[in-house]
């Protein structure tokens, strides 16, 4: 184990078909080369399927479970509060993002960055529908315009923060608006977000939990954070 610790927070809602594989893949990844040991914090966000039952049978994780669905933002904030690491990473449970990508982001932290994002658009995202492609691009451009820092993938679900940076953000979002809140408040706090390309393969559109209304809320959140 390395002499530093990265806490990886994975929110999960109704992911019974993927959650075991997602956690096991994350457990297999070593960050020793980057000088980090890891703790895995999985937050069951009130799943109504067998997600919680599956998670209860997996060893080597720290499990938080909410009795009802409160949203991704609430789940992440619960995980952040539990995290013991000097560095905190976000990893989705749907396997669209390979856990091994976190090593690339930790390398940036080792170079002195406080915030590092894996950008799908600096690489070539696979299977992304036009609606999601356009929506993500629009929100990233809006972020760039509002905050004056070029961002290519504001909505990426692979983000890494130093604990020092995360503590300064005073997060309050409960839903998918956690993504624009994290980015907007990080920039307003004076942090430069380092983006690096990561591979990404979208799952089927019908399986997505995010929708057009979430995109509208994200845009509004960016505006609120910028001018609050």
Beta bridge partners of 8: 40, 89
* Per-residue confidence band for 208, with pLDDT thresholds at 50, 70 and 90: low
Q: How far apart are CA 177 and CA 162, in angstroms?
A: 21
- Residues, the chain: 228
Q: How far apart are CA 112 and CA 197, in angstroms?
A: 18
Residues above pLDDT 90, as percent of the chain: 85
Q: What are phi and psi of 34, to 5 degrees?
A: -90, 0
Tokens for 116, please give them.
């590092």
Q: Could you read off the pLDDT of 66-98 as tens digits, one per residue?
A: 999 999 999 999 999 999 999 999 999 988 999
Q: What SS3 state is found at 30?
A: coil
The residue extents of the domains of the chain are 4-227
| pLDDT beyond 90 at 125 | no
CA distances (Å), origin 41, targets 5, 11, 22, 32, 61: 13, 8, 12, 19, 6
Please report which helix (H) or strand (E) contains residue 102, including its range.
Answer: helix 101-110
Residues above pLDDT 70, as percent of the chain: 96
* Per-residue confidence band for 207, with pLDDT thresholds at 50, 70 and 90: low
The candidate with the shortest Cα–Cα distance to 6, out of 120, 101, 132, 130, is 101
Q: What is the CATH number of domain 4-227?
A: 3.90.550.10
């Amino acid at each position: 184990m390395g002499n530093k610790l990265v806490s990886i927070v994975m929110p999960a809602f109704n992911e019974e078909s993927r959650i075991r594989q997602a956690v096991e893949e994350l457990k297999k990844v070593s960050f020793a080369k980057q000088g980090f040991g890891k703790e895995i914090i999985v937050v069951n966000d009130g799943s109504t399927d067998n997600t919680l039952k599956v998670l209860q049978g997996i060893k080597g994780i720290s499990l938080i479970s909410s009795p009802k669905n409160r949203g991704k933002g609430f789940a992440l904030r619960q995980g952040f509060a539990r995290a013991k690491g000097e560095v905190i990473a976000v990893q989705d449970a749907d396997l669209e993002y390979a856990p091994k990508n976190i090593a690339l982001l930790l390398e940036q932290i080792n170079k002195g960055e406080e915030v590092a994002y894996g950008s799908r658009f600096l690489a070539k995202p696979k299977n992304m529908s036009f609606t999601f492609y356009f929506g993500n691009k629009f929100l990233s451009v809006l972020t760039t315009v509002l905050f004056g820092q070029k961002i290519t993938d504001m909505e990426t679900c692979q983000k890494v923060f130093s604990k020092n940076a995360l503590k300064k953000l005073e997060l309050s979002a409960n839903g998918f608006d956690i993504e624009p809140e994290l980015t907007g408040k990080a920039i307003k706090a004076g942090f430069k977000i380092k983006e690096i390309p990561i591979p990404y393969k979208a799952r089927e559109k019908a399986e997505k939990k995010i929708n057009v209304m979430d995109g509208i809320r994200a845009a509004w959140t960016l505006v609120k954070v910028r001018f609050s």
